[in-house]
Amino acid sequence: MEINELEEIDKTVKGWLRESRDNVLRNIDTRLTVSTKTSRRDLVTNIDKQNEKFIVSKIREFEPHARILGEEGFGDKVDSTKGRVWIVDPIDGTMNFVKQRNHFAIMIALYNDGIGELGYILDVIGNRLLSGGPKIGVFDNGQPLTPIADTALKDGLIGLSGPMVLNNEFNMVDIAEKSLGMRIYGSAGIDIISVLRGELVGYISYLKPWDFGAGKILCESAGLKMTTIDGKQLGMLSSTAVLLATRNAHRDVLTIVGK
Ligand code: 2AM
Ligand code: CA
Ligand code: CA
Ligand code: CA
């Protein structure tokens, strides 16, 4: 896709995100309707659904034939990476949203033939938007992102998934011990923003396409590595254990995982 078109889409998506944030904030103090999905820790609320419907309707209005992959199912069944695909996570960190009304994100990504073009992660309460892509660059609230130091695992904090640590999957305890400390934020979006801002050297979690779709575009554009936990290439439609890190910390983690 060409820069002119990307810049036009970029302006439009930022408008949707402003509206989407306003909608969420307007409803944040209302009583939520919460239901469980695959387990008692896997939640969805009326706001997740409302917000996905809102974003999907904006995409459809803008691009009537767009294919949309949305977590809550208001998009399309997407099983190929061909052509333009939008990926939407209407509330990332639903448990945080329900229990804290904070530390959650809205994420949107645009892929073309499997190649990431534009990614957006909005920390709703922090009012911080990470946006951009390989052709237009990465921005932190509209300012070019500060270059990320290539910090080693031993010199930084690592964001981890709670269940993976509890089960010591992939030597997660060793990974935490070799770092300066672990953080468990409970939102892939918030963790990915922290890696992009140099506050974490990496992040590891089981993720679905809507959890990492936007982050992969932003992180790869910013010189970070995002792969599967065993260092393999991550497809746009994969659901797997994901390792995001600086180049140095990525190599450090792979050594501990045994790959
Ligand atoms: P979600 O809130 O949009 O579901 C911590 O739970 C992080 O992992 C969140 O970013 C969450 O996204 C994501 N996640 C992915 N699969 C999950 C699952 N089965 N249960 C809970 N969270 C999941
Ligand atoms: Ca969910
Ligand atoms: Ca998510
Ligand atoms: Ca979600």
For 153-257, the fitting CATH number among 3.40.190.80, 2.40.400.10, 2.30.110.10, 3.40.630.30 is 3.40.190.80
Cite the beta strand spans of 1-124 per DSSP E: 34-36, 43-45, 67-70, 84-92, 105-112, 115-123
For the CA of 186, the nearest atom of ligand 1 = 5
Q: Which ligand is nearest to the CA of 95?
A: 1
Burial 34-71 (b: 16+ CB within 10 A, else e): eeeeeeeeebbbebbbbbbebbbebbeeeeeebbbbbb
Q: Is the ipTM of this complex over 0.85?
A: yes
CA 55 to CA 71: how far, in whole Å?
A: 12
CA 177 to CA 135: how far, in whole Å?
A: 37
Q: Does ligand 1 lie within 6 Å of residue 93's CB atom?
A: yes
Domain 3-144, what fold? Fructose-1,6-Bisphosphatase; Chain A, domain 1 (3.30.540)
List every span in the chain annotated with CATH 3.40.190.80.
Answer: 153-257
Q: Does ligand 1 lie within 6 Å of residue 187's CB atom?
A: yes
Centroid of chain to Cα 188: 5
Q: What are phi and psi of 46, to 5 degrees?
A: -60, -30
Which residue positions form the known binding site for Mg(2+)?
71, 89, 91-92, 211
User: Which contacts (CB < 8 Å, 24+ apart) does range 251-258 have?
Assistant: 252/152, 252/153, 252/154, 252/178, 253/153, 253/175, 253/202, 253/204, 254/230, 256/171, 256/174, 256/175, 256/178, 257/170, 257/171, 257/175, 257/229, 257/230, 258/171
For residue 189, what pLDDT is reported? 99
List every span in the chain annotated with CATH 3.30.540.10.
Answer: 3-144
- Residue nearest to ligand 1 atom 16, measured at CA: 207
pLDDT in tens, the chain (259 residues): 999 999 999 999 999 999 999 999 999 999 999 999 999 999 999 999 999 999 999 999 999 999 999 999 999 999 999 999 999 999 999 999 999 999 999 999 999 999 999 999 999 999 999 999 999 999 999 999 999 999 999 999 999 999 999 999 999 999 999 999 999 999 999 999 999 999 999 999 999 999 999 999 999 999 999 999 999 999 999 999 999 999 999 999 999 999 7
For residue 29, what pLDDT is reported? 94
What is each CA distance from 126 to 122, 142, 209, in whole angstroms? Answer: 8, 15, 24
Which residue positions form the known binding site?
71, 89, 91-92, 211
For residue 259, what pLDDT is reported? 77
The CA 43 to ligand 2 mean position distance, Å, reads: 6
For residue 62, what pLDDT is reported? 98
Provide the whole-model pTM.
Answer: 0.98
Q: Does ligand 1 lie within 6 Å of residue 48's CB atom?
A: no
Q: Does ligand 1 lie within 6 Å of residue 43's CB atom?
A: no
For the CA of 48, the nearest atom of ligand 1 = 3
